């Protein structure tokens, strides 16, 4: 079983205030901490669990800066075997289709059974890179996967749909699976494991190394133009419900029903 897991280095916007830069099109990321995208962490764990069960190899693929190598080494400490990090300023990385095209370009010459990605990225939240990647690779895909069963030449993927519905699909390999959080419990990468992972192969490659024409994945090729970023105005209203407990409960229930919340 040969798998490739695609991971992204993203800012954690939950612990520092999000501020838009004066250009109005980018975010000031100087006060954020960065780490592996949450769903990608589950994708790494799933790929390693399958390797531990079925044998084979897992390669890491990521587009990101030098600082992201700590995230890649952590994935290797958990059991991934080798990695490619793509670094090239010419990639229009705000556009998931351009990102998917680069990932496909890095994968297409290789034999593989499964490609794993997270189902969405915590920063831009497009939820489309994995699906677009399958399209560029010309292989099957299943998105929002909460359970994976590897069969002979096939994979059974349990997809989490709206309202808690689970859909089970069977795909011919090779295939791309976009992994939903909660599918497993990602393990910890101990520092000794990270140090040992320094010995594993990590290649830094450019678009030229991958044989990708920069004009096909740059801002001119992108259909996405960021015009303006802004922080939505906070609007809030609070109503204090008065009265005895029974009255309060009745009023609260009435508000919830009227608002279509129950």
Partner 1 sequence: MSTESQTFTEKYDLLGCIQCGRCTGGCPVTVRADLNVRQFVNDAYDEDKLGQLARLAEIWDCTACHTCAVRCPKGLKPLEVLIGLRSMIVESGKVEPTVRDALQSVLLEGNPWEKPRATRQDWMEGLDVKIAEPGVHVENLFFVCCTNAYDPRVQVTAKNLVKLLNKAGVDYAFLPEDESCCGSEVFTLGEEGLFEMTVEDNTEYLNEFKADRMVTLSPHCFTTYNTHFPDLKNPVIHYTQLMDELIQEGKLAWKGELAKKIVYHDPCYLGKQSGIFDEPRRVLKSIPGVELLEFERSRERSLCCEGGGGKMWVESESKKERLAETRIKDAKELGADIVAAACPFCVLTLEDAMKTLGYEEEMRVAEIMELLGEFTEA
Whichever of 188 and 240 has its CB closer to partner 1, that residue is 188
CB atoms within 10 A of CB 258: 9
Q: Between 191 and 257, whose beta carbon lies closer to partner 1?
A: 191
Smallest gap from Cβ 49 to partner 1, in A, equals 12
Binding site for partner 1 (CB under 8 A): 12, 15-16, 30-35, 70, 74, 78, 185-193, 195
Closest approach of Cβ 193 to partner 1, in Å?
Answer: 7
Q: Which is nearer to partner 1, 24 or 190 (CB)?
A: 190
CB of 164 to partner 1, least distance (A): 22
For residue 164, the 8-state DSSP code is G
User: In sequence order, which residues have a C-beta less than 8 Å from that of residue 232 and are 6 or more positions away?
Assistant: none
Q: Which two tokens stand for residue 50?
A: 């399958």
Q: How far is the CB of 15 from partner 1 (least distance, A)?
A: 5
CB of 194 to partner 1, least distance (A): 8
Nearer to partner 1, 48 or 100 (CB): 48
Phi and psi based region of residue 195 (left: phi greater than 0; alpha: psi -120 to 50; beta: remaining): alpha
Do 8 and 121 contact (CB within 8 A), yes or no? yes
Least distance between partner 1 and beta carbon 32 (Å): 6
Q: How far apart are CA 132 and CA 252, in angstroms?
A: 45
Token code pair at residue 240: 């204090």
Distance (Å, whole) CA 53 – CA 48: 9
Q: Which of 58, 5, 15 is nearest to 36 (CA)?
A: 5
Q: Residue 196 or 215: which CB sits closer to partner 1?
A: 196
Find out whether 44 and 186 touch, Cβ atoms under 8 Å: yes
């Amino acid at each position: 079983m040969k798998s490739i897991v695609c991971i992204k280095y993203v800012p954690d916007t939950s612990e520092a205030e999000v501020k838009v830069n004066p250009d109005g099109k980018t975010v000031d990321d100087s006060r954020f901490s960065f780490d592996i995208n949450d769903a990608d962490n589950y994708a790494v764990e799933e790929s390693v669990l399958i390797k531990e069960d079925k044998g084979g190899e897992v390669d890491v693929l990521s587009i990101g800066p030098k600082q992201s190598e700590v995230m890649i080494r952590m994935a290797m400490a958990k059991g991934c075997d080798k990695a490619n990090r793509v670094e090239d300023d010419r990639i229009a990385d705000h556009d998931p289709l351009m990102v998917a095209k680069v990932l496909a370009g890095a994968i297409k010459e290789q034999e593989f059974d499964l490609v794993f990605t997270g189902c969405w990225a915590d920063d831009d939240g497009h939820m489309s890179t994995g699906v677009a990647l399958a399209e560029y690779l010309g292989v099957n895909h299943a998105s929002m996967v909460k359970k994976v069963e590897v069969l002979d030449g096939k994979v059974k993927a349990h997809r989490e749909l709206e309202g808690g519905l689970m859909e089970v699909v069977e795909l011919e390999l090779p295939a791309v699976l976009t992994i939903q959080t909660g599918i497993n419990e990602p393990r910890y990468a101990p520092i000794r494991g990270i140090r040992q992972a320094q010995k594993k192969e990590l290649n830094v490659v450019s678009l030229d190394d991958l044989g990708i024409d920069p004009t096909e994945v740059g801002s001119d090729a992108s259909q996405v133009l960021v015009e303006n970023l802004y922080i939505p105005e906070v609007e809030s209203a609070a109503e204090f419900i008065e009265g005895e407990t029974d009255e309060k409960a009745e009023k609260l229930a009435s508000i919830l029903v009227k608002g279509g919340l129950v």
